[in-house]
Each structure stands twice: as C-alpha cells, then as structure tokens.
C-alpha cells in the first residue's frame, strides 16, 4: 500500500518501559518503511535507545506528572512540534496527554491522537474537558472495555463517534518465524499442563493458583501448573503452595526468556489477574493454538470467547476455575478445537497486519 510521506510523531516521555512503550516501539518498527516517523521520547529511557538503534529519528524531552503546569515546558513542547510540523501526533500516557495536547493544537497539527490502555475513568475536571473537547481529535482505546471505562464518569467528556478501538496485537509473521524450543519440564503420560506467565504480584493473581490446584486434585492428579515470572509475591506464593499441599502440581520456573517457548510447553494458558487491559500473552497463546482460562473481568471477554477460544470464570471463583480445568483434563480434544479457533481469531482481529491498517487511517 502506498502512502504520502507525511510526518507522524509518536510521543512518550516517561522514561519507563511497559506495555505502552513496547506497543509504540513495535508499531513504529512495523511502519517505519511506509511512513515518515519521528519520536519525542525520554533520552534516558529504553524506548529512546531502541528507536535510535532502529534508525528512527528521536528528539529528547522529559516530563513528569505535573510538568504541564510549567509554562517553559509547554513552550518547549510547542516550539518542538512547530519545528517538526507533523501531520499527526500520537501519545499513550496520561502525562503526555496533559503535556502535549495544547502545544499540538497551538502548532496547528491536524490529527492529535490519544491511545489509551488505562482502564481508569477519565476524570471530569476542567483540564480534561478542555484537552478532550478542544484538542484531541480521536481517542483510541486498546479494548472496548477501556473505551467505555474512559467515559464512565462523564459520557459527555468526548464524542463517542470519535472513539475507535484499536486492539493490542502481535506481528504474526514475526511471531511465527521465532524458533521455540520446548522447556524441559518432564511431561508425564496423560498429563495436561496449564501455564501462567507474568510478574509475581497481587494484581496478577497467582495466589489463586494453589487453592485452585488443591480443589482440582480432589478430582484428578493428571495435571500440572507451570508458573513463569519473578516478583515480590514469590515467597508468599511458595509458602501457599506448601500450605495447600500442591507441590507436585505447581512448578515455579522463575524468569523465562521466551514467551513462545513457555507457551509451546503448555496445553492451556491461565490468566488469574484481578485486572487486564488487553493481555498480549493471551494473544500470543492464541497464536500458538492454545486455549485460555481467565476470570471474566475487564477486557478478558474480548479475547477469550467463552466456549469458543477458551473459558471464562466468574471473577475470583476458585471452584469454577478448577471445574473448567477439569473439563479440559476430561476432554483433551477440546484443547485443540478451542486452540485452533483462537488462532483464527488472532489472525482476524489481533494481528499487527490488521491493527496497523486501522491505525494508519487516523494519520492522514
């Protein structure tokens, strides 16, 4: 597809590294040969370093939560944007939303895009009303849930007609090309292996796994749960595994350097999180033909279609999750059927080939 070489500027000045920063990096990497791209980023951050290594022009700018109150910072942002004169700007942090919306408007930029992956409601105060109604041209949430949540305190904050969901996604061609060995976990005959991957922290919900395993072993011993990740919850999780007497059924792997190798070693992904924006690892699991079991919270139902690509449980219902795991143990053929459907959904909805085309139309 041919596009005019009009300049598009991605902005992220936080200096941290997380899902939003990874999304920006991967998206710019995918689009850099089709669109003239520049980045405004924190010079001390990983994102800035990676973009420079990829040959993408970057301009340094640091900002914090209250930087938008500094008129000198606002002036610097305006001068930089006026000099670059991009056709569109896109940011995906609340700090940059406050810092750059008005300078972009003053600089005469045609499209001012706010990609939102935060599930909290936008607060209905004067600043947000001004920025959203006078500056932002489109709000691009990464799930329908996040789009609804953004306006849950005030439906009049932003026109619904200018909100469009652009899902988190993965580059399937790149993903499929990655070599993935199987981890040495010693699979036993007839054993179904479930997996959970993520930072070991309260919001990720790994503390649900030992009581789930204890409940499930009352029905079957032909299962194991592999848990990949490190974090502050490790000691508490280890103690709970011993307390519930499920050491034979839960194996803590620590950090694994390849999501694909981990997913290649399991039969079903479990997402016990209290909250998920839109889980990238769930999309990766679908790309690997793996079904998913998750609590029906936040955006999970947009990825896990109950009974089709996986199973959804009532929020934080241990007994229901155990029953759903037993369903797969009792009927392992369903693992392949739901996994294959998940791959088709990933290709249709959660591939970069699809979402990048959706995004590009907002640049021109």
Q: What is the pLDDT of residues 305-353, one digit of tens each?
A: 999 999 999 999 999 999 999 999 999 999 999 999 999 999 999 999 9
* Structure confidence by residue, pLDDT tens digits, 276-293: 878 899 999 999 999 999
**For residue 287, what is the DSSP state?**
H
Q: What is the mean pLDDT of the chain?
A: 94
Token code pair at residue 271:
């997402």
Token code pair at residue 314:
């009532």
Give residues with Cβ within 8 angstroms of 316, minimum separation 6: 208, 274, 295
- Architecture in CATH of 175-349: 3-Layer(aba) Sandwich (3.40)
For 350, half-sphere exposure in the C-beta direction (CA atoms, 13 angstrom radius) is 25
User: Residue 357: is its pLDDT beyond 60?
Assistant: yes
* Structure confidence by residue, pLDDT tens digits, 133-153: 999 999 999 999 999 999 999
State how beta strands 250-254 and 223-228 pair: parallel
320 vs 275, which has greater pLDDT?
A: 320
CA distance 83 to 77: 10
Give residues with Cβ within 8 angstroms of 33, minimum separation 6: none
User: Residue 15: is its pLDDT beyond 90?
Assistant: no
CA distance 250 to 224: 6
Residue 180: phi and psi, rounded to 5, are -135, 105
> Is it true that 7-166 and 175-349 share their CATH fold?
yes
What does the domain layout of the chain look like in residue ranges?
A: 7-166, 175-349
Task: Cite the DSSP H helix spans in the chain.
Answer: 19-31, 46-53, 71-84, 94-106, 126-134, 144-150, 172-177, 209-216, 234-243, 259-263, 280-287, 300-303, 318-330, 333-349, 352-360
Top-tier CATH class for 7-166: alpha beta
pTM: 0.88
Q: How confident is the model at residue 3 (pLDDT cuts 50, 70, 90)?
A: very low
pLDDT of residue 246: 98
Q: Minimum mean pLDDT among 50-54, 115-119, 232-236: which range? A: 115-119
CA distance 328 to 331: 5
* Structure confidence by residue, pLDDT tens digits, 59-74: 999 998 888 999 999 9
Cβ atoms of residues 111 and 139 within 8 Å: no
Token code pair at residue 74:
């606002």
Angle 290-295-300 from CA coordinates, rounded to 5° = 65
Provide the b/e sequence for 89-115 (b: ≥16 CB within 10 Å).
Answer: bbbbbbbbbbbbbbbbbebebebbbbb
Cβ atoms of residues 84 and 9 within 8 Å: yes
CA distance 337 to 5: 44
Provide the b/e sequence for 135-167 (b: ≥16 CB within 10 Å).
Answer: bbbbbbbbbebbbbbbbeebeebbeeeebbbbb
* Residue 68: C-alpha distances to residues 17, 73, 78, 93, 113 (Å): 21, 7, 12, 13, 18
Quickly list DSSP for 300-359. Answer: HHHH--BTTTEEEESTT-HHHHHHHHHHHHH-THHHHHHHHHHHHHHHHHSBHHHHHHHH
């Amino acid at each position: 597809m041919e596009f005019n070489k009009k300049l598009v500027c991605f902005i992220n000045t936080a200096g941290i590294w997380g899902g939003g920063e990874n999304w920006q990096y991967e998206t710019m990497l995918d689009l850099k040969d089709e669109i003239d791209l520049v980045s405004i980023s924190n010079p001390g951050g990983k994102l800035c370093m990676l973009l420079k290594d990829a040959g993408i022009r970057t301009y340094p700018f640091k900002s914090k939560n209250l930087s938008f109150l500094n008129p000198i910072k606002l002036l610097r942002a305006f001068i930089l944007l006026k000099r670059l004169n991009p056709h569109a700007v896109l940011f995906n942090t609340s700090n940059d939303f406050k810092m750059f919306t008005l300078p972009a408007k003053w600089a005469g930029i045609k499209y001012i895009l706010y990609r939102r992956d935060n599930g909290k409601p936008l607060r209905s105060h004067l600043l947000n009303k001004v920025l959203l109604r006078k500056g932002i041209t489109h709000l691009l949430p990464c799930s329908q849930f996040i789009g609804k949540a953004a306006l849950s305190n005030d439906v009049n904050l932003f026109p619904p007609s200018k909100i469009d969901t652009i899902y988190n996604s993965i580059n399937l061609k790149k993903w499929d090309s990655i070599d993935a060995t199987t981890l040495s976990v010693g699979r036993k005959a007839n054993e179904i292996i479930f997996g959970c991957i993520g930072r070991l922290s309260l919001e990720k919900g790994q503390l649900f796994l030992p009581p789930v395993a204890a409940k499930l072993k009352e029905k079957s011993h032909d299962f194991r749960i592999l848990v990949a990740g490190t974090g502050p919850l490790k000691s508490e999780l280890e103690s709970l595994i011993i307390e519930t007497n499920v050491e034979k059924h839960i194996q803590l792997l620590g950090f694994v350097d390849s999501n694909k190798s981990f997913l290649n070693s399991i039969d079903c992904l479990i997402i016990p999180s209290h909250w998920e924006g839109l889980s990238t690892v769930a999309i990766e699991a679908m790309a690997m033909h793996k079904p998913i079991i998750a609590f029906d919270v936040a955006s999970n139902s947009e990825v896990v279609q109950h009974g089709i690509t996986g199973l959804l449980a009532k929020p934080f219902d241990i007994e229901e999750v155990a029953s759903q795991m037993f369903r797969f143990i009792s009927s392992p053929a369903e693992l392949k059927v739901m996994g294959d459907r998940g791959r088709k959904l990933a290709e249709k909805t959660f591939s970069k080939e699809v979402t990048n085309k959706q995004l590009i139309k907002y640049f021109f």
